[in-house]
Amino acid sequence: MRMANNNPLKIAVASGKGGTGKTTIATSFALSIINDISESLLFLDCDVEAPNAHLFLKPQLTEEKPVEILIPEVNESLCTHCGECAKVCQFQAIAVLGNKTLVFPQLCHGCGSCTMICPANAIQEIPKSIGVLQKGTAGEIKFARGVMDIGEPMAVPIIRQLKKWVAPLEPQITIIDSPPGTSCPVVESIRGSDFLILVTEPTPFGFHDLKLAHQVAKDLQIPAGVIINRENGAFSELEDYCKEENLPILMRVPFRRNIAEGIAKGRNLIEILPEMSASFQNIYHQITTLVK
């Protein structure tokens, strides 16, 4: 069955706790619905610190673009060491010591404030690489991801530039694989999504972090649903919470050693349990009705 949709959805997958199965679910979801939709499908790996979706989708990466931020470079022959730049910098990334102005590139957020404020026009901005964006295809799925350079602290600009880079030219459904946690990189990844799939596991760790991730969804006013992964008997607190919060449980994936072993070998869920494919298609239908 082919579905038409005038308002192609952006669906993000997050969890709070790491390792609950975000990437497994997101990639299996993409592979399940690709033959069931009329729009094109874009898969966006926003976990730029630990990008793993390519391990399951095995895309051919054909395009690459560096992610750069602009950092200040001080022309000492023009600099009067007045210290205005250090005064406006909120991140202690530039300092004046005697008659030398020092820049600490790792601390710089690339905001340009020092350059704009400098009364001697002694600062020019130079690009500094903090990661790379890559694009390609995995079968019919369009794929893009960001990869942060080792030792760089800031994931957010990479995610922001990744999302701009792939800004859709044609109607397409987007699946976003978000990083773990609940802070700024997660917010940047899921902002603007129409729906958030929260992948959890029925353990105290999984449940604790699910509530935090759900709070992010509420703050951003993104409707959400839950997939319970590795379900092994009832975990009543989780069930009660979903009920109280009107959080639909979209799917339950059982806890079985053979699934864990299959995933350990790099297989996705629908290779291990082909019948899950229909469930993922159902979830897609359910989401289209939930966001209306």
Partner 1 sequence: MKQLVILSGKGGTGKTSITAAFANLAKNGNPPINAILADADVDAANLELVTRPKRLESHEFIGGEIAVIDPNRCHACGICEQVCRFDAVIPPDSSQAVYRIDPIACDGCAACVYQCPEYAITMQPQKAGNWYHSLSLYGDLYHADLIPAQENSGKLVTVVKQNGRLRALDTGAQLLIVDGPPGIGCPVISAVAGADLGLIVTEPTPAGSHDMERALQTIQHFRIPALVVINKADLNREKTAEIQNYCKEKQVEVLGEVPYDPLISEGMKQGLDIVAYHSTSPASQAIKAIWTKVLERLSLLGGAS
Contact residues for partner 1, defined by CB under 8 A = 16-20, 23, 47, 49-50, 52, 55-56, 88, 90-91, 109-113, 116-117, 148, 150-156, 160, 179-187, 191, 203-205, 208-209, 212-213, 215-216, 219-220, 232, 235, 257, 260-261, 263-266
| Cα separation, 215 vs 187, whole angstroms | 11
* Residue environment code for 183-202, b if the CB has 16+ CB neighbours within 10 A, otherwise e: eebbbbbbbebbbbbbbbbb
Element housing 286 (H / E): helix 276-290
User: By C-beta, is 265 or 292 nearer to partner 1?
Assistant: 265
Query: From the CB of 195, what's the least distance to partner 1, in Å?
Result: 17
Nearer to partner 1, 108 or 173 (CB): 108
The two three-digit tokens of residue 155, written as one number = 């994931």
The smaller minimum CB distance to partner 1, of residues 4 and 150, is found at: 150
Closest to partner 1 by CB, 38 or 215 = 215
| Rounded Cα–Cα distance for residues 87 and 80 (Å) | 14
Min dist CB 78 to partner 1, Å, is: 20
- How many other CB atoms are found less than 10 A from the CB of residue 60? 9
Toward partner 1, which CB reaches closer, 8 or 157? 157
Q: Which residue number, 172 or 203, has a Cβ lying nearer to partner 1?
A: 203
* 83 CB-near residues (< 8 Å, 6+ apart): 96
Angle between helices 204-219 and 236-244 (to 10 degrees): 10
CB contact at 8 A, 176 and 199:
no
- As measured in angstroms, the least distance from the Cβ of 198 to partner 1 is 12
Closest contact distance (angstroms) between CB of 117 and partner 1 is 6
Give the residue with the Cβ less far from partner 1, 208 or 285. 208
Q: How far is the CB of 115 from partner 1 (least distance, A)?
A: 9
Q: What is the 3-state secondary structure (H, E, C) of 207-268?
A: HHHHHHHHHHHHHCCCCEEEEEEEECCCCHHHHHHHHHCCCCEEEEEECCHHHHHHHHCCCC
Q: Residues of 76-87 as b/e, b for ≥16 C-beta within 10 angstroms? A: eeebebeebbbe
Indicate the residue among 181 and 225 with the shorter CB distance to partner 1: 181
**How many angstroms separate the CA atoms of 258 and 118, rounded?**
62
Rounded Cα distance, 265 and 161, in Å: 32
